[in-house]
Homo-oligomer: A and B are copies of this chain.
């Protein structure tokens, strides 16, 4: 094949807010009608706080034609074909985008100020719609359901089975846990068991954070420097909590963390903490409780969806993470993503990797993570995938 199989590890999909009504359980629709205008206004406020003046608005205006691909199946396929994407992982949208589900059941879901019952209702409305959207193109759309996992575990388990039966490929869990049971807590064992049994991939996607005071100078630079840590916390908890010893086939992806140097630093920290005797002797031997080193768990159970934020040609760090772990992604239709300049940005980020590594980072790693049948995807890729000849190979 003269083209690569390209699977984007990071895409977003979702309805315009008012259209989630019909996907909500009927008992929440009155509340939905009451809250809709307020929620849209709050998101506009958040967007004004988070985003510089008119960057998003301008970008949306310039690219209006393709943005309806967030929910329109035909437009989405057209964009994917043009981008060379054979299949893509689909997440919901967050507060600074236009297609968020209601009640805090969205990309940035976190426990603060959320009502568990309503957050679940919002998450479920998204999961139902996403399931339909993915069933339009079951080969090409790998849907991640929303799972506000910090609340009742039985509810999470039921939703995981529902999602599996309805064609989704994984679940996005909350990564902000402060004040709630962290993922080393035994209460989550039935949830990990359900995820392992169904082969559903656990996915943590960046966005949510601890609260920041938006009136203090520099808060956004602080947020941007700290959100990778908030996203990493579930990994630290799962590794030291022995989750991967108890559920050795569990698969976990961390998506759009930004800055590929971050994961090697976290891996080094965990390995250091698991092993070192002198400095931590008074606190016991953490390695004694683990069958593998933290890096070994990462290379067996974890994938890193590096999205469009990959630092340009940061190959040394890809190898530190493990070249079999890194998954490229377009982040369509977000303004920080590659679309509508995917070709240019893909080459900017990846030119110089050798062919085998390109195959993995562009598609095969994702195929392994999401347990995909390569043959039918290769058929699609053979028509639309990025041409091998256009990549500048390593010398």
Chain A contact residues, CB within 8 Å of chain B: 50-52, 55-56, 59, 96, 178, 181-182, 184-186, 210, 212-213, 216-222, 224-226, 228-229, 233, 236-237, 239-242, 258-259, 261-262, 264-266, 268-270, 272-274, 278-286, 289, 308-309, 311, 335-336, 345
CA distance A279 to B336 in the complex (A): 5
CA distance A213 to B188 in the complex (A): 14
Known: A278-B336, A286-B221, A309-B279. A226 touches B236 (CB 8 A): yes
In whole Å, how far is A366's beta carbon from the nearest beta carbon of chain B?
Answer: 20
Partner of A286 from the list B213, B220, B281 (CB cut-off 8 Å) is B220
Closest to A220 in B: B283
Known: A182-B222, A265-B265. A217 touches B289 (CB 8 A): yes
CA distance A388 to B311 in the complex (A): 44
Report the 8 A-B pairs with minimum CB-CB distance, sorted nearest first. A265-B265, A221-B240, A218-B240, A221-B286, A52-B284, A218-B241, A224-B273, A279-B309
Contacts of A55 in B (CB 8 A): 281-282, 284
Closest to A311 in B: B272
Contacts of A265 in B (CB 8 A): 261-262, 264-265, 268
B335 with A182: CB separation less than 8 A: no
Q: What's the number of copies of this chain in the assembled complex?
A: 2
Contacts of A239 in B (CB 8 A): 218, 221
Contacts of A228 in B (CB 8 A): 269
Closest to A59 in B: B282
In whole Å, how far is A342's beta carbon from the nearest beta carbon of chain B?
Answer: 13
Contacts of A270 in B (CB 8 A): 221, 225
Known: A225-B236, A283-B224. A216 touches B186 (CB 8 A): yes
Partner of A216 from the list B52, B182, B262, B335 (CB cut-off 8 Å) is B182
